[in-house]
């Protein structure tokens, strides 16, 4: 969160099963299927996350929202993509967090490019920091 200048804000993370995330996906999105990650914003503006990620201000204790990740799906995706499960979980956390602060790959192709570029940049920063800690 420091990398997007929201170090003082709060984020809730839930790691769960396919069964539990399927229920959430059905109840909140009307989609009766498991998914990898869901985001529930607590800084919504008129029923949606902020349209401009730059509009979210760092405020001590501000609850940005909740990210829910299915560990079952993340592990399956990691195997399919031949990546480390921790790396896949990290990527899903970043993806969910970006949704909370206003990024949305479903709005337009330009928004998708912007979101996925930001996702890659943040993942690289996290991996770099992880490498520093393991030395």
Tokens of residue 37, six digits: 């990650």
What pLDDT, on a 0 to 100 scale, did the predictor assign at position 46? 47
CA distances from 23 to 20, 36, 66, 128 (A): 5, 13, 16, 35
pTM to 2 decimal places: 0.88
Residue 55 has pLDDT above 90, yes or no: no
Residue 89 has pLDDT above 80, yes or no: yes
What class, spelled out in words, does domain 2-133 have in CATH? alpha beta
């Amino acid at each position: 969160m420091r990398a997007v200048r929201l170090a003082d804000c709060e984020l809730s993370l839930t790691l769960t099963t396919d069964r539990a995330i399927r229920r959430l996906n059905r109840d909140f999105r009307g989609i009766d299927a498991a998914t990898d990650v869901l985001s529930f914003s607590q800084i919504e503006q008129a029923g949606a996350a902020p349209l401009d990620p730059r509009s979210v201000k760092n405020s001590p204790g501000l609850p940005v929202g909740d990210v829910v990740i299915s560990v079952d799906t993340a592990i399956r995706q990691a195997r399919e993509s031949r990546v480390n499960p921790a790396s896949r979980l990290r990527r899903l956390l970043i993806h969910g967090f970006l949704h909370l602060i206003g990024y949305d790959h479903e709005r337009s192709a330009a928004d998708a490019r912007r979101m996925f570029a930001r996702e890659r940049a943040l993942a690289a920063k996290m991996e770099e920091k992880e490498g520093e800690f393991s030395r």
